[in-house]
Amino acid sequence: MTGGDLLWSAAVSLWRNKGRTVLTVLATLIGTFTIALTVGIRVGVNTYIDTQVQNVGEKDQLMVYAAAPNGNNDRPQKYDPTTGNTASTQLLTAKQVQAIATLKGVSKVTPLKTFAADYLQRPHGAKYALQAGDAQGTHIDMQVGQQAQGSAYTVTLNRAYVKALGFDSAKKALNQPVVVAATSQATGQQQVFQAKIVGVRNASIVDRGQVIFSPGLITAINRQNVAGMPKTAAAQYSNVLATIAHPTKSEIKRVKAALHAQGLASATFADDVGTLHQTINAITGGLTLFGAIALVAAAFGIINTLYMSVRERTREIGLMKALGMSGHKIFALFSLEAGLIGCLGALCGCTVAWLASGLVNRLAAQTFLKGLNGFALIQFNGANTVMIMCLITVIALLAGTLPALKATRSAPITALRYE
């Protein structure tokens, strides 16, 4: 028998007992469906994250900040005033900024000032508390307008503030005046700043609800925040943006090591995104275990189905051997039956998962993902689908090994006498 003959014979044999075959395929389908769905969620979430942040952080920039006093091992360290590693000095000083600037490989240093705004309002309108952010070194995913930049007093709104401030649409908010207030931490005196809306950002899982201020407005607010404070306290920074001259992996690693030697921590934007990807993969990996449990059950179903098939076809196996069919071909015949069950279950499971993803994505977009533009919760790609189908087929082939061996070892005379 040729390979094609074996495949055809395996398919015909499975069709003899349609009910049993269908039930076994359904068990495989359930496991495949669960795995395909969780893999699709992982692809969907990671794709959305990549879309949101693909151009957010510059590849040549390191965010530098003061390391925690307990280091990275959660064990208290002895006090050493020479390192600046104390609980009261979690801000970077001008001296530390200068030390960063002189490091080999660092071409530019941009200190990021600490600042706090009290409220945001339209002239004579209601006042709204806000979380303000600094977008230096990043690119914001904009809905309309542009990112707040330069020395002018400008802001980029979060979408939530458009309606709150009384604008009919994001487009109508462009170039409208707003008032921002800030208070001195030392004197308690409040000052207001006249600013202009230059853009509205898209809602995303990385925007943290922030309203973005231009560097010019941040400088003014910071100046008001530290008014009346000692110069040593005023000249402190929460983070420093260090630009690497030649941002290769080895060079970034070397600069990170040099910063660590100074008691400073650092991370690229890719580091932060990588952590987010790891979290998503860990969650979906846990969900995939449920699909793996279902596949184990399906594997036992395949073993049971083929064992019963071997038992029912004992005389047929004896006849095939008596006619000169080799044990290898008999083994291949029953292995192909197992493989066909796995392949059919995998194909149906992936198809059902793909159909279900369309419904789930529509429901998600209308409910808990509403406002997150372009977020398809479940996505499939060809490579992952083929990988899942191949994996399920291989598992089915392995499950069919024992019944196939049993068929191979049947003695022709004994098999022909079997009733």
Q: Using CA atoms in the order 52, 55, 60, 66, what is the torsion angle rounded to 10 degrees?
A: -30
- Report the distance separating Cα 13 and Cα 151, nearest Å: 78
Other C-beta atoms lying within 10 Å of the C-beta of residue 291: 22
DSSP code string of 276-345: HHHHHHHHHHHHHHHHHHHHHHHHHHHHHHHHHHHHHTHHHHHHHHHTT--HHHHHHHHHHHHHHHHHHH
Q: What is the pLDDT of residues 80-99, one digit of tens each?
A: 555 444 444 467 888 888 89
Quick one: pLDDT band at residue 8, thresholds 50, 70, 90? confident
Q: What is the pLDDT of residues 137-185, one digit of tens each?
A: 677 778 899 999 899 999 999 888 999 999 999 999 999 999 999 999 8
Quick one: pLDDT band at residue 74, thresholds 50, 70, 90? very low
Strand ranges inside 28-176, DSSP E = 61-66, 92-93, 106-113, 119-121, 127-128, 132-134, 142-145, 154-158
Among 252, 202, 211, residue whose Cα is nearest residue 58:
252
Question: Would you give the end-to-end CA distance of the chain in angstroms?
Answer: 26
- Report the distance separating Cα 254 and Cα 260, nearest Å: 10
pTM here is 0.62
Q: What is the pLDDT of residues 172-183, one digit of tens each?
A: 999 999 999 999
Residue 383: Cβ-neighbour burial (10 angstroms; 0-12, 13-18, 19+): exposed
> Which pLDDT score is estimated for 342?
92
